[in-house]
Amino acid sequence: MARTFVNAGRRRQFTSAALHKAGDLVYTDGFFGVVQDDVKTVGDQTMHILDGVWDLPFVNNAAAISIAAGAKVWAAPSVIATSLTLYPGISVPSGAAAVGRLWSTYASGASYARVALFGAENQYAATTLALT
């Protein structure tokens, strides 16, 4: 193992700027990830999990259709006190960034989607949103 190795890059600690429940999708310091534990006080240190498969809140603006597994999903890179809402590629809000792909088909009308996060090594910067 190289002496310069720091860690696997799948988790990172950060100072929370908002309250969160464990499992919330959050954006902080340029990374999308899921909060490991409840954040009960703004300014607490918390763990940000940057990869894995998660059931996350989802908005399907074309509610009459299902969306196939493998489709990219997007979120607005902002700091809010709840879980970020994911959007399918067919209804991406301005300024959103790709955060992962559907792990399984999203059923029409469901409020959660099973999503595989891209992980820190594959997350896109705001300047590269045009890439698909």
Count of alpha carbons within 13 angstroms of residue 47, beta-carbon side? 9
131 pLDDT above the threshold of 50: no
> What does the domain layout of the chain look like in residue ranges?
11-76+83-125
How far is the C-alpha of 116 from the C-alpha of 72, rounded, in Å?
Answer: 10
Token duo for residue 57 = 């809140």
Q: How many CB atoms lie within 10 A of CB 93?
A: 12
Look at strands 11-15 and 45-49 and give their pairing. antiparallel
- 94-126 residue pLDDT tens: 888 889 999 998 888 788 889 999 976 665 543
- 18-55 residue pLDDT tens: 999 999 999 988 889 999 999 999 999 999 999 999 99
Token duo for residue 128 = 């590269």
Residue 66, pLDDT score: 84
Cβ 46 vs Cβ 24: under 8 Å: no
Cβ 42 vs Cβ 63: under 8 Å: no
How far is the C-alpha of 82 from the C-alpha of 39, rounded, in Å?
Answer: 11
